[in-house]
C-alpha cells in the first residue's frame, strides 16, 4: 500500500493549515541542510537551503516559532566540530535576511529554553541531529524529548523521507500523539505532486532515462518504469552491466557482476522498450581525458573504461525526450565531473529543459544529476518551465517512483 497517491488524501499539508494554528506555536521543521562545506567551513552550495526558504517564510509569516533541524554528513552519533551546522545558520541568516539563532546542542533543556525565549516569527537552528546516537536508530525517547518542546511538525526534507530516523519518523508520530499536526512542507508538497504527476498519471508518451552505477538498488524502479514507459534508456555506468549481460566486452569499466543475471532478465522482460547506448566515450582512466575516444559499443577493448554515452546515443535520447509527454530522468549519463565526459549528460539535459519549456512533464532526480544540471546552467530554465521539476531526493525519489512507501511520509497526519 502506498503512503501517498493521487487517488488517496495523502498527508496533511502546510498550505492547508489554518494560519491561526501557527500563531505563537512552536513548529519543528525537519529540513535537509546536508550541504557541502568549503575548506574554510563556509557553505559551498546553498541550493538545498534555498529550496526550503518558502516553507520557512510561510511559518514565520504565520507567527510560528520555527525550530529547524537537520543532519549534516555522517558523524556516527557523536559530535564532530567539522560537521557542525553553525555555518548553515550563517548561510540561512543571509538568505532569509533576518536573524537565525543557533542552538549549540541538538537536544536537552537548552533547546526548550531557547524556544521559550523566542518571539513569534523567530527562526532557530539546532545543531546536527546526527550528533545523537538515537537519530539513526529512530529512537522514540529522543523523539519524545523533541516533541515536548513543540506544538506541530513540518517535513521539508524529501531527500531523507526514505529513512526512518528519529527526526523524520519517530518525531512526527510523537507530535501527533500529543495532538499536534505533522504535515508536509511546501517543498515536499511540490515533490510529491511532481512525482505523482509523472509516474502515476503521465502524459504519453512516457520516456524514462536512468544513469548512475549500480542496478541493485534500482531493480524495482527499472521494472516499474519498463511496465509504464514507452521507452526506458539505461546509461551511465549501469549500462556496462547490461552490456555484460548481452555478451559485450566491458574492458575495465565499472560493472556490477552480481546483477548481470538480473540485467539479462530485465532485458528479456522489457524487450524493445529498454534501450542501451549504441556508442560510448572511453578512456584509459575516468579520472583523465587523456586518450579519450568514441567507439561503438561492440568495439570496446579489454583496456577501455566507459566514461560517457557517445554522441549518437545522446542524440537518440534527446530526440525521444524531445517528443515525449512525460520525462523521468535519474542519474547522469557519464562521469560529468570531468569535462571530457559530460557531453552526453549535458545534451540530454538541454533536451529535457526544452521539453519542460514546451509543457512536457519533466522530473529530474538525484543529487549528482541535479549538480550536473546546475553545472550546465539549466536550473533556471527548469524552474521557470511550467512543468519542470528538479527533485531534491536521491533514494527517496527512486523509492517513490518504484512504488515503495516512504516512512517519513507515512508518519505525517493524514489529509482530510
Q: Please list the active-site residues.
A: 48, 214, 367, 395
Instruction: Tell me how many degrees the CA angle 279-280-284 measures, rounded to the nearest 5.
Output: 145
Which grid coordinates belong to 86? 553553525
Cα separation, 328 vs 352, in Å, equals 9
Instruction: Tell me how many degrees the CA angle 178-181-186 measures, rounded to the nearest 5.
Output: 150
Which residue in 181, 179, 176, 113 sits closest to 143, CA to CA? 176
Helices and strands (H and E) in the chain: how many: 16, 15
φ and ψ at 166, to 5 degrees?
A: -60, -40
For the chain, report the end-to-end CA distance as a whole number of angstroms: 19
Largest CA distance in the chain: 69
Cα separation, 118 vs 339, in Å, equals 48
Strand partners, 11: 414
Which grid coordinates belong to 380? 533556471
Strand partners, 280: 295, 309
State how far Cα 334 lies from the chain centre: 19
Cα separation, 118 vs 400, in Å, equals 37
Whether the CB-CB separation of 317 and 329 falls below 8 Å is answered with no
Amino acid at each position: 500500500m502506498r503512503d501517498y497517491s493521487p487517488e488517496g488524501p495523502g498527508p496533511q499539508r502546510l498550505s492547508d493549515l489554518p494560519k491561526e494554528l501557527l500563531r505563537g506555536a512552536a513548529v519543528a521543521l525537519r529540513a535537509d541542510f546536508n550541504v557541502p562545506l568549503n575548506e574554510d567551513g563556509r557553505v559551498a552550495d546553498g541550493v538545498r537551503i534555498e529550496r526550503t526558504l518558502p516553507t520557512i517564510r510561510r511559518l514565520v509569516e504565520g507567527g510560528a516559532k520555527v525550530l529547524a533541524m537537520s543532519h549534516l554528513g555522517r558523524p556516527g552519533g557523536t559530535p564532530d566540530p567539522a560537521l557542525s551546522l553553525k555555518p548553515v545558520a550563517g548561510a540561512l541568516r543571509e538568505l532569509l535576511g533576518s536573524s537565525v539563532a543557533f542552538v549549540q546542542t541538538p537536544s536537552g533543556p537548552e533547546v526548550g529554553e531557547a524556544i521559550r525565549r523566542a518571539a513569534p516569527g523567530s527562526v532557530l537552528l539546532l545543531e546536527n541531529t546526527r550528533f545523537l546516537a538515537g537519530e539513526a536508530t529512530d529512537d522514540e525517547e529522543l523523539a519524545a524529548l523533541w516533541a515536548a518542546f513543540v506544538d506541530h511538525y513540518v517535513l521539508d526534507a524529501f531527500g531523507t523521507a526514505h529513512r526512518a530516523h528519529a527526526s523524520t519518523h519517530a518525531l512526527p508520530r510523537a507530535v501527533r500523539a500529543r495532538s499536534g499536526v505533522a504535515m508536509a512542507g511546501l517543498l515536499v508538497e511540490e515533490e510529491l505532486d511532481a512525482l505523482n504527476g509523472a509516474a502515476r498519471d503521465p502524459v504519453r508518451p512516457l520516456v524514462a532515462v536512468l544513469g548512475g552505477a549500480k542496478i541493485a538498488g534500482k531493480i524495482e524502479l527499472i521494472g516499474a518504469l519498463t511496465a509504464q514507459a514507452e521507452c526506458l534508456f539505461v546509461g551511465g555506468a549501469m549500462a556496462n552491466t547490461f552490456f555484460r549481460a548481452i555478451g559485450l566486452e566491458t574492458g575495465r569499466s565499472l560493472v556490477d557482476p552480481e546483477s548481470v543475471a538480473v540485467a539479462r532478465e530485465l532485458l528479456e522482460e522489457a524487450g524493445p522498450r529498454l534501450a542501451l547506448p549504441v556508442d560510448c566515450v572511453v578512456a584509459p582512466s575516468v579520472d583523465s581525458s587523456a586518450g579519450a575516444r568514441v567507439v561503438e559499443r561492440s568495439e570496446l577493448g579489454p583496456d577501455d573504461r566507459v566514461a560517457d554515452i557517445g554522441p549518437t546515443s545522446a542524440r537518440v535520447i534527446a530526440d525521444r525526450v524531445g517528443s515525449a509527454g512525460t520525462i523521468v530522468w535519474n542519474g547522469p549519463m557519464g562521469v560529468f565531473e570531468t569535462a571530457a565526459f559530460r557531453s552526453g549528460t549535458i545534451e540530454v539535459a538541454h533536451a529535457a529543459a526544452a521539453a519542460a519549456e514546451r509543457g512536457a512533464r519533466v522530473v529530474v532526480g538525484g543529487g549528482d544529476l541535479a549538480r550536473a544540471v546546475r553545472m550546465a546552467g539549466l536550473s533556471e530554465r527548469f524552474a521557470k518551465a511550467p512543468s519542470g521539476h528538479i527533485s531534491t531526493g536521491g533514494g527517496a525519489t527512486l523509492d517513490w517512483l518504484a512504488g515503495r512507501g516512504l516512512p517519513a511520509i507515512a508518519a505525517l497526519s493524514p489529509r482530510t
